[in-house]
Amino acid sequence: MTTKKRVAADGEAAPEKPPSLDVALIHGVTSDGGLQILRAKGDRLELGAVRPLREGVPITGEVVKLRPREDCPVLCDVEVQLKAKELPNDRQVCSVPEAEASSARSGPAQVATDEYRKNWDAIWSGSRQTPKLVN
């Protein structure tokens, strides 16, 4: 293995640092078609999921590109395309822990899933019939 050397300002050759390790091991599939991964990033291990980008769907976390290795396709090199901190402010992921986030706001939980909207429409939309008076 060859080691690249760089020259310091004083003229001495200093070995170049190897690139930091950033690999992902695919170990499953999520219910929505994404991939469950175990990621080794530097000296940390992270458990997470990657999903394809879709227009109109907010980005949560980093935008990454996975490059499967030839000898082991479930092991991928990770190339970060867009870091989470570089996202526009309206697309930032809230880093407040869940316990703090729930105590920071007041009122009922804001529920806005597709299933909730469908059920809301089933109950409240349509024509409401007024009861006929007996007299």
Instruction: Report if residue 33 sits inside a domain.
Output: yes
pLDDT on residue 114: 83
pLDDT tens-digit series, residues 24-75: 999 999 998 899 999 998 889 999 999 999 888 888 888 999 999 999 999 9
Lowest mean pLDDT among 80-84, 95-99, 107-111, 118-122: 95-99
pLDDT on residue 1: 42
- Report the largest interatomic distance among the alpha carbons of the chain, rounded to a whole angstrom: 105
- The two counts, helices (H) then strands (E), for the chain are 2, 7
pLDDT on residue 96: 47
pLDDT on residue 133: 76
Instruction: Report if residue 53 sits inside a domain.
Output: yes
Amino acid symbol at 20: S
User: Are 53 and 73 spatial neighbours (Cβ–Cβ below 8 Å)?
Assistant: no
**Dist. CA 70–CA 57, nearest whole Å:** 32
**Dist. CA 119–CA 6, nearest whole Å:** 64
**Dist. CA 86–CA 109, nearest whole Å:** 29
Q: What is the mean pLDDT of residues 71-99?
A: 71
SS3 of residue 51 by DSSP: coil
Q: How many domains does the chain have?
A: 1
pLDDT band at 23 (very low <50, low <70, confident <90, very high): very high
Provide the domain limits for residue 41: 18-124
Instruction: Report if residue 34 sits inside a domain.
Output: yes
**Dist. CA 53–CA 91, nearest whole Å:** 14
Instruction: Report if residue 133 sits inside a domain.
Output: no
pLDDT on residue 59: 84
pLDDT tens-digit series, residues 108-125: 777 678 888 888 778 877
- The answer, as to whether pTM is greater than 0.75, is no
